[in-house]
A = this chain, B = another copy of it.
Amino acid sequence: MFNKILIANRGEIALRIQRACREMGIPTVAVHSTADAEAMHVRFADESVCIGPPPARDSYLNIPAILAAATITGADAIHPGYGFLSENASFAEMVEAHGLTFIGPSPAHMRMMGDKIAAKQSMGALGVPLVPGSDGEVATLDEARKIADEVGYPVLIKATAGGGGRGMKVANDPSELEEAWHVARTEAKSAFGNDAVYLEKYLDKPRHVELQVLADAHGNVVHLGERDCSMQRRHQKVLEEAGSPAITPEVRDQLGATATAALAKIGYRNAGTLEFLYQDGKFAFIEMNTRLQVEHPITEAICGLDLVREQIRIAAGHALGYTQSDIKFRGHAIECRINAEDPETFLPTPGTVEAFHAPGGLGVRVDSALYAGCKVPPYYDSLVAKLVVYAPTRLEAIARLRRSLEEFAVVGISTTVPLHQRIVAEPDFIAGDYTIHWLEKFVNRTR
């Protein structure tokens, strides 16, 4: 096992990793910018090193400073958390080049999954479901018609060189295909100088469902069930559930079997998450995150594992010690991301926290680096707390969430607690009936 772990992160996730290390008896090194000198993750660490000025590029993204901090403190492993350098394959390589262990996947796998198109091709080739459509460019309208009939309407004509929504047209039925075809090609030509297009099924009301996996260095791979992260605003997850209100155990088992087989085949190691769109009973792989995720606590709640401890054990070369059949899912968990943002305008609200009181009692977990008197600096992510509730059933979890949100007190800065209070009161949410578009519409409607 490691002698000392440097945690290359800040905020609640640095604290989360410290807690796991402390419970495992491993000393930790905190790194921090000058803005975070008084931060909780610094106060709780066994040792701390200031690595630079407030801007992240000069501190939390400053690879030389982080490696030097590991050297001067004698750390032998680095946990990157999420965000910052956690998906930076070059960083992982440099960590290993310095004779330290990177607590995460191999740089090769990070690189593979970092290229979103290559990731899709690799996973598709391994039997992971993708959005149905053409294999590459569609040359003629006739070919487009044929494929559209196969995958079913609505379909999307997309510029192969495209991005940002341009060169992209929906055809809701066969009568709209010809016009969509021409418009997409014309837009593609003018926007990208290339009129090549491809075709895929258009998912108009998908859920975001992701699968947590763990793999050790000995070829064992398990999945820990899915999380439903459809409650999003501007592609930022706001509230997550495990399991998904839309997934049955059979569907979970099937997806899990496909995904774990694929990852075993490529020799993936450590924690990872496969993200899918899910609509009409079908999954379509979007991307894989090769790191711990913000919402990992809801998975911990339903499967009883400590994911950070598992990451550290795997990185130290230990075998998982359990198989898929040992993983049992019990109850339901929901996480609210509490951000230092105005709950109406979503503008960040950095400042000094005058008072902080977290909810308590049965089935409530709070991960937060806030404390009364602390400062929320303006330089970093606005996530300041995660409220996670667990209960035997989804409806009990919602009731628990509602009362916990009422107990949550942050004085001095605005947070998104009121937004969550509004969400949990909505009949659509209570019914579990929401897609990735729901929250955006709700926010616009109720603003």
A45 to chain B, nearest CB (A): 12
Chain B minimum-CB-distance residue to A19:
B361
In residues 352-386 of chain A, which contact B (Cβ within 8 Å)?
355-358, 360-368, 371-372
Query: Would you call B392 and A304 a contact (CB within 8 A)?
Result: yes
Query: Would you call B403 and A362 a contact (CB within 8 A)?
Result: no
Known: A23-B396, A44-B407, A403-B23. A306 touches B362 (CB 8 A): yes
CA distance A25 to B331 in the complex (A): 20
CA distance A304 to B24 in the complex (A): 25
Query: Would you call A365 and B372 a contact (CB within 8 A)?
Result: no
CA distance A44 to B44 in the complex (A): 31
Given A16-B361, A306-B362, A372-B372, 13 other A-B residues pairs in contact with their CB atoms under 8 A: A22-B403, A22-B406, A23-B396, A23-B400, A23-B402, A24-B399, A44-B407, A304-B330, A355-B372, A360-B366, A360-B367, A361-B366, A364-B365
Per-position binary interface string of chain A over residues 23-51, scored 1 when its CB falls under 8 Å from any chain B CB and 0 otherwise: 11100000000000000000010000000
CA distance A415 to B20 in the complex (A): 26
A402 to chain B, nearest CB (A): 8
CA distance A304 to B329 in the complex (A): 13
Query: Would you call B365 and A362 a contact (CB within 8 A)?
Result: yes
Number of interface residues of A (CB under 8 A): 38
CA distance A355 to B399 in the complex (A): 29
CA distance A367 to B358 in the complex (A): 11
A365 to chain B, nearest CB (A): 7
Measured between beta carbons, the chain B residues less than 8 angstroms from A372 are 355, 357, 372
A446 to chain B, nearest CB (A): 23
CA distance A44 to B358 in the complex (A): 14
Check A96 for interface membership: any CB of B closer than 8 A.
no
7 pairs of A and B residues whose beta carbons are closest in the complex: A23-B399, A22-B403, A360-B366, A19-B361, A23-B400, A23-B403, A357-B371
A438 to chain B, nearest CB (A): 25
A176 to chain B, nearest CB (A): 48
Measured between beta carbons, the chain B residues less than 8 angstroms from A367 are 360-361
Pick the contact of A403 from B19, B356, B365, B392 — CB < 8 Å?
Answer: B19
CA distance A8 to B360 in the complex (A): 21
Check A292 for interface membership: any CB of B closer than 8 A.
no
Measured between beta carbons, the chain B residues less than 8 angstroms from A20 are 362
Query: Would you call A300 and B362 a contact (CB within 8 A)?
Result: yes
Q: List 25 A-B contacts (CB under 8 A).
A: A15-B361, A16-B361, A19-B361, A19-B362, A19-B403, A20-B362, A22-B402, A22-B403, A23-B399, A23-B400, A23-B402, A24-B399, A44-B407, A304-B330, A306-B362, A306-B363, A358-B358, A358-B360, A360-B365, A360-B366, A360-B367, A360-B368, A361-B365, A361-B366, A364-B365
